[in-house]
A and B are shown apart, each in its own frame.
Chain A
Amino acid sequence: MNSKPNIAFVRDHMDAAMPPPSSEVGALGWMRRNLFSSVSNTILTLLVVYVAYLIIPGSLEWSIFNAVWEGTDRLACATTQQGGELPVGWHAACWPYVIAYSKLFIYGRYPDPELWRVNLVLVMFFAGLVPLLMPSVGGKRVNLIFMLGIFPVLALVLLSGGNFEFGQSFWEKYAIFSLAVLVAVFLYMRATENSAMGAVKSTAIGLAIFAAVILFISADFGLVSIETPLWGGFVMTLVIAVTGIVVSLPLGIILALGRRSQMPAVRLFSVIFIEFWRGVPLITVLFMSSVMLPLFLPDGVSFDKLLRALIGVALFSTAYMAEVIRGGMQAIPKGQYEGAMAVGLSYWQSMRMIILPQALKIVIPGIVNTFIGLFKDTTLVSIIGLLDFLGMIVLSHSDPKWATPVQALTSYLFCALVFFIFCFSMGRYSIFMENRLNTGHR
């Protein structure tokens, strides 16, 4: 290109772009754009900074810098006025108390030599849950069967010790029941469709799996039996929350479908169920289950208290879940239903392949909202004497060994932290799933 004709001025290269003004880039530019873009924004920013200045240093000082970290009893966290060593006026967190109680806060009164069983359940739970939540990991089907089918049974046997007694009469009744169900299915299917044997076969497999599960939990694995009054702490919170979540989602879907069903009996049942459970406060449900139910049962018959609470919490959250899902189904345009019918899908096929995938995607925030609410509502079980995480913390306040003015505040701070971590993670995961499933309809 060096033998170009000599023209007075031809620009043969572009000037490099000028750097943007320093007020528009870097931290300064970001702040100008985001924090001080207008007068009102500037005022708000300054206000927030001032409030943060008021709160944050004090909280950090209270919870970390001035806090006590080592000690064996209340004297470690007591001022000279209270019989300890710390200067008068000291008021900060007392962490050795939380550390000394950490085993009780997490496992409750579960016996020490058997703690490995709880740990194993926790490991299985997280090992099964994490790959299930990560879209990039394969084997979802196997994973789901493990988490929803195998894990609950294993967890039940490990936590309680298994070896449940069923007795002769249970098996006799179960055999009669199975036979009746099989005959009923056979007669019904023969009247409506041709492939009666197929339906009978799958029903038989279902009944056999159920019997196998019963056999499994009634088998003696040599594990020491641990009754539910010994369960407690965060493990109990997880047991209640996970049971509630696992039960409420499928049952909620069924009830939501039922409420929109064309069959009046099904619709009426769903409406009554949902409205009843939504109409009563959870505290009332728990109270009825723990105080009233034993009075109605015949003398000497008593259900496990934890089981009663579990059923109450699960049914309660099912009603809420059903309404959340019904909301999603109502947001689906009518054309989707008609389209599904037009291509010849049956009711169940159109629900499974067309309606529910879209409806559930829409209501992810609502579902997670219900989960988070349920997770926090588990703390209500402490009013019926079940010692969940918060119940255990409140119980520990009565120990004179650690009684100081800061005892309760420290434990509540710890409780808030743990709950925040779990609820915040659930919230973030829901946002992640929303973005991943976003197909651009919005």
Chain B
Amino acid sequence: MKKAIVSAALGVAALGLAASGAVAGTLDDVKAKGFVQCGVSQGLAGFSNPDDKGNWTGIDVDLCRALGAAIFGDSTKVKYTPLSAKERFTALQSGEIDVLSRNTTWTATRDTSLGLNFAGVNYYDGQGFMVRKELGIKSALELSGASICTNTGTTTELNVADYFRANKMEYEIVAFEKADEVVSAYDSGRCDVYTTDQSGLYSQRLKLTNPGDHIVLPEIISKEPLGPVVRQGDDQWFNLVKWTHFAMVNAEEMGITSANVDEKKGGDDPAIKRVLGTEGAFGEALGVGNDWAYNIIKQVGNYSESFERNVGPKTPLAIARGVNALWSDGGLQYAPPIR
């Protein structure tokens, strides 16, 4: 019996050893193994969470699917590794995953000291406050003396400290380990304010007894640009991840959607033809097929489609585009041209 277990261990170990290759070029490795290994969260509504069928959905997941579409022409050739916040960077550094698409904030420390590169921003988030309407508060500057519910061990706690100290206001932190506990504490009146990333406020609001009684204050007290991360020193792979996101943003700007991409492909707009690969060889330069962007748009959609499907006003989260609108609509999403 012991032998059986030893052999089982050896067998699985051998499988693990066989499955991982050298780290010469991530793109070549990915092409050789036939799928993209994508690190995602352990469940964050709208960004990466499995639905009740077990399929991963969300904005971050769409980026992984777009990578699959760009490389293999098949958005299903992606495997997901759910990672906790603590182990996410190690998983990327050790080569366990090819790309980390896990609502990760781009900061100077992370970009410079971890041997990692941020390949763009696919969602601009920021820390916000939620309060009860009945308090009649209109601005975060009126929150002096408030008790504030939040998660332990995250930057949100530090941001609150900075903000309140800068504005010379008193406050009291009530911190919990899990998001569920924070919500129920706030809901039962143990604190006046609930603070976390604004996208999180919208998703947690669904768990309140009476969502209509609460408002999200307009102030954003921190910048949280969330984006995909790759290992430093592999520029080809870095470029591909970067331009996968840009392709989706460019497609929105040009009005190319998954529904009309075939129709647009036949048109004569040279800019669109360059994106869809009927003119020029931009895919080749990235190391993938020239129809890379066509496949992304056809199978995953443009940035707007991804946004609307996962977090937009028609979803339970009901988040407005806000700063995530295109630059031409007054937002921050701006992609360099494909030419």
A164, A385, A402: the one within 8 Å of B84 (CB): A385
Q: Which of A42-50, A146-154, A336-344 contacts B (4 or more CB under 8 A)?
A: A146-154
Q: Which A residues are in CB contact (< 8 Å) with B212? A: 81
Judge whether B46 is part of the interface by a CB distance below 8 angstroms.
yes
**What's the nearest-Cβ distance from chain B to residue A73, in Å?**
8
Judge whether A123 is part of the interface by a CB distance below 8 angstroms.
no
B94, A302: Cβ atoms under 8 Å? yes
A148, B11: Cβ atoms under 8 Å? no
Cα(A391)–Cα(B11), bound, Å: 26
Q: Knowing A100-B52, A164-B14, A218-B11, say if A74 contacts B206 (CB, 8 Å).
A: yes
Q: Knowing A395-B82, A398-B44, say if A294 contacts B90 (CB, 8 Å).
A: yes
A300, B20: Cβ atoms under 8 Å? yes
Cα(A247)–Cα(B9), bound, Å: 12
Q: Which B residues are in CB contact (< 8 Å) with A108? A: 54
Which A residues between 59 and 112 are near B, CB-CB below 8 angstroms?
74, 79, 81-83, 88, 91, 100-101, 103-104, 108-109
A404, B207: Cβ atoms under 8 Å? yes
Judge whether B268 is part of the interface by a CB distance below 8 angstroms.
no
Residue interface bits A305-340, CB-to-B below 8 A is 1, else 0? 111001100000000000000000000000000000
Where chain B touches its partner, the secondary structure class is mixed
Judge whether B91 is part of the interface by a CB distance below 8 angstroms.
yes
B50, A395: Cβ atoms under 8 Å? yes
Q: Which B residues are in CB contact (< 8 Å) with A213? A: 3-4, 7
Judge whether B258 is part of the interface by a CB distance below 8 angstroms.
no
Specify the chain B residue showing the minimal Cβ separation from A386: B82
**What's the nearest-Cβ distance from chain B to residue A267, in Å?**
21
B94, A297: Cβ atoms under 8 Å? yes
Q: Which B residues are in CB contact (< 8 Å) with A189? A: none
B1, B79, B316: the one within 8 Å of A74 (CB): B316
Q: How many residues of B contact A (CB 8 A)?
A: 65
**What's the nearest-Cβ distance from chain A to residue B96, in Å?**
6
Judge whether B236 is part of the interface by a CB distance below 8 angstroms.
no
Cα(A306)–Cα(B273), bound, Å: 46
A291, B207: Cβ atoms under 8 Å? no
Cα(A303)–Cα(B1), bound, Å: 23
Residue interface bits A350-367, CB-to-B below 8 A is 1, else 0? 000000000000000000
Residue interface bits A400-439, CB-to-B below 8 A is 1, else 0? 1111110110000000000000000000000000000000
Judge whether B42 is part of the interface by a CB distance below 8 angstroms.
yes
Cα(A246)–Cα(B3), bound, Å: 12
Where chain A touches its partner, the secondary structure class is helix
B52, A401: Cβ atoms under 8 Å? yes
Q: Which A residues are in CB contact (< 8 Å) with B317? A: 400
A160, B12: Cβ atoms under 8 Å? yes
A165, A397, A405, A407: the one within 8 Å of B15 (CB): A165
Residue interface bits A217-253, CB-to-B below 8 A is 1, else 0? 1100000000111000000000000010011001100
Q: Which B residues are in CB contact (< 8 Å) with A228? A: 12
Q: Knowing A160-B12, A229-B79, A302-B94, say if A152 contacts B4 (CB, 8 Å).
A: yes
A210, B5: Cβ atoms under 8 Å? no
A301, B206: Cβ atoms under 8 Å? no
A304, B15: Cβ atoms under 8 Å? yes
**What's the nearest-Cβ distance from chain A to residue B25, in Å?**
12
A304, B45: Cβ atoms under 8 Å? no
Specify the chain B residue showing the minimal Cβ separation from A293: B94
Which interface class (under 10, 10 to 19, 20 to 34, 35 or more) fits A? 35 or more
B82, A164: Cβ atoms under 8 Å? no
Q: Which A residues are in CB contact (< 8 Å) with B20? A: 300-302
Specify the chain A residue showing the minimal Cβ separation from B187: A405
Cα(A394)–Cα(B82), bound, Å: 13
Judge whether B172 is part of the interface by a CB distance below 8 angstroms.
no
Q: Which B residues are in CB contact (< 8 Å) with A383? A: 84
B42, A300: Cβ atoms under 8 Å? no
Q: Which A residues are in CB contact (< 8 Å) with B207? A: 403-405, 407-408
Which B residues between 36 and 92 are near A, CB-CB below 8 angstroms?
42-46, 49-54, 79-84, 86-87, 90-91
B11, A229: Cβ atoms under 8 Å? no
**What's the nearest-Cβ distance from chain A to residue B213, in Å?**
8
**What's the nearest-Cβ distance from chain A to residue B48, in Å?**
9
A156, B210: Cβ atoms under 8 Å? no
B209, A405: Cβ atoms under 8 Å? yes
B5, A152: Cβ atoms under 8 Å? yes
Cα(A109)–Cα(B82), bound, Å: 12
Q: Which A residues are in CB contact (< 8 Å) with B53? A: 104
Which A residues between 380 and 398 are near B, CB-CB below 8 angstroms?
382-385, 387, 391, 394-398
**What's the nearest-Cβ distance from chain B to residue A163, in Å?**
9
Which B residues between 174 and 211 are near A, CB-CB below 8 angstroms?
178-180, 184, 187, 203, 206-211
B79, A81: Cβ atoms under 8 Å? no
Q: Knowing A209-B3, A408-B180, say if A290 contacts B8 (CB, 8 Å).
A: no
Judge whether B2 is part of the interface by a CB distance below 8 angstroms.
yes
What is B's interface to A at a CB cutoff of 8 Å? 1-23, 42-46, 49-54, 79-84, 86-87, 90-91, 93-96, 178-180, 184, 187, 203, 206-213, 315-317
17 contacting pairs across A/B (C-beta < 8 A) = A82-B210, A104-B52, A148-B4, A160-B15, A164-B12, A210-B3, A228-B12, A295-B94, A300-B20, A300-B22, A302-B17, A302-B96, A395-B43, A398-B43, A399-B52, A400-B45, A403-B206
